[in-house]
Amino acid sequence: MPIEPPLCFARMSGTKSGTSSDDDSRAPATPGSVELRHLRCFLAIAEERNVTRAAERLRLTQPAVSRTLAALERALGVRLVDRSTHHLSLTPEGRAFQDRATAAIAAFEDALAVGRTARRPLRLGHAWSAAGPHTTPLLRRWREAHPDVPLELLRIDDRTAGLTRGEVDAALLRGTVDAPGLVTELLYTEARVAALPADDPLADRDEVSLADLTDRTIALNTVSGATTLDLWPAAIRPREVITVANTDDWLVTIAAGRAVGITATATVGMHQYRGVIYRPLTDAPEVPVLLARRDTPSHPCLRELATLIHEITHNASANDHEAPEAP
């Protein structure tokens, strides 16, 4: 996996977390001398949000962990961790580096597993509705065509469904995705629908428009990619928003009457929920559905996956547009 500066390594043989030495005399002075042990140390701190717990997890002393973090920050020339408060937190640079460091370690471990890669499961992530009505045909046909390579469908509540962190090999994503190191291809588009509380007056209509929702509170799911306030012209943009981070919270918020939502048509079939009514949205643009992967493929079967998804969605679209036979 190509590593963009400042994430490049002169040595990729950094010891595993449990066997690192407390001596940090090899502290990196430049990005080119960063080792895996520095990344593992930073990620432990980022995940534990506590140097003492990170040291226990890595089986190192607390001073050794602090020295390793300081050495990494010197090498990169940025502050990764904010130490100014009692509660350790990541700086904006630290949050960006966390994703890259996670992906770098995942890529390194994938490289070591080259002999096993062809036989391990192909991990397909999604944050919301997977491939909609195409999901079941995809899983069934993949199993028939590739019985020795399981296709694992993983829901991960993250804008890239775990792809940037190396948790999956590919991801089904909706909406525009701007993340370094990712390659995307358009699969198809979906219409948008309004999601309304069952007792909302708009639920009695056959369809609604964006203007109908202007004075409502909008539930925005930060990982779905299906809705942003930019859908509305500035003059009629809703002012009240409730932000949620996953499908379940989005549905509960709407069912409880706290907000209305906008989503893709796949949600109607994948997420029926008591107290939520879906209605066609007449004037919103369609949502692009993308297949995303890292710029260096992590599994040899990714091309076959893309080909199969395109075939399934193309055939479904062709069937939808076939004219009915004359009686």
Q: Give the Cα separation of 24 and 30 in Å (integer).
A: 15
Is residue 223 within 8 Å of residue 128, measured between CB atoms? yes
We report the CATH number of the domain holding residue 227 as 3.40.190.10
User: Are residues 166 and 307 both part of a single domain?
Assistant: yes
Transcribe 154-218 into DSSP letters. EE-SSTTTTTTTTS-SEEEEES----TTEEEEEEEEE-EEEEEETTSGGGGSS-B-TGGGTTS-E
Query: Into how many domains does the chain fold?
Result: 3
- With respect to residue 27, please indicate whether it lies within any of the assigned structural domains: no
Render pLDDT for 66-116 as a digit per residue (tens, 0 to 9).
999 999 999 999 999 998 766 788 999 998 888 888 878 877 876 776 555
Rg (CA), the chain: 23
Please check whether residue 261 lies inside any domain of the structure: yes
Q: How confident is the model at residue 143 (pLDDT cuts 50, 70, 90)?
A: very high
Q: Is residue 313 part of a domain?
A: yes
Same domain as 300, residue 184? yes
Q: Which residue has the tokens 């890259």?
A: 100
21 pLDDT above the threshold of 50: no
For residue 278, list its beta bridge partners: 195
Tell whether 242 and 199 lie within a shared domain.
yes
Q: How confident is the model at residue 20 (pLDDT cuts 50, 70, 90)?
A: very low
Q: What is the pLDDT of residues 255-280, one digit of tens each?
A: 999 999 999 999 999 999 999 999 99
pTM for this model (two decimals): 0.68
Q: In terms of domains, do 139 and 90 share one?
A: no
| Domain limits for position 173 | 122-189+288-320
Q: Which two tokens stand for residue 59?
A: 């089986």
Of 113, 141, 169, the one marking the end of a domain is 113
Residues 292 and 158 in one domain: yes
